[in-house]
Amino acid sequence: MKQYLYLAQSGDAWIVRQEPNEDSLTCLQTLVGGLIECVSPSKVPCDVWVNEESLFQPGFGINLVASYITGRQLVGPVVLASSRVDGATISVSQHLVNKLKREGLIIEETVLTAREIQDRYKDVYFPNETNPTAWRTGLPRS
């Protein structure tokens, strides 16, 4: 079962496990809230997945944690993964996760699915009638 490192723009970090019947594309699109784009980081050896239209999303802001880790200015939710030589997406390396923890990244203990992440952050990234300004705080509602 594949696992990715999800970095919310609020600074939260979660390990996300891909559901057994879910493909990588669907999982990554759910996590970033739309079409995906892989950007090259300058500081870490991994694949960095972002929303292809993140600069145009009204609920997205600069993701300071992801930007610091990768050495690139990134907007909205970010997913770190690894890939095989043939380009297939695989789990984020445990070595990278351990390195980031040693450097001070606090990763939540609970492992979630992409749907659980989407439910947790939907009001943060996508303002709606019940919470039109949630994205401005960058914090999920409990």
Task: Quick: pLDDT tens for 91-126.
Answer: 999 999 999 999 999 999 999 999 999 888 876 665
Rounded alpha-carbon distances, angstroms, from residue 142 to 62, 119, 121, 134: 22, 11, 10, 12
Mean pLDDT of 1-17: 94
How is the chain split into domains, by residue range?
3-137
Task: Quick: pLDDT tens for 20-76.
Answer: 999 999 999 999 988 999 998 878 889 999 999 988 887 788 999 999 999 999 999
* Closest residue by Cα to residue 78 from 109, 45, 54: 54
Q: Say what the pTM is.
A: 0.85
Tokens matching residue 116: 């659980």
SS3 of 19, please? coil
pLDDT at position 128 is: 53
User: Which residue's structure tokens are 């057994």?
Assistant: 20
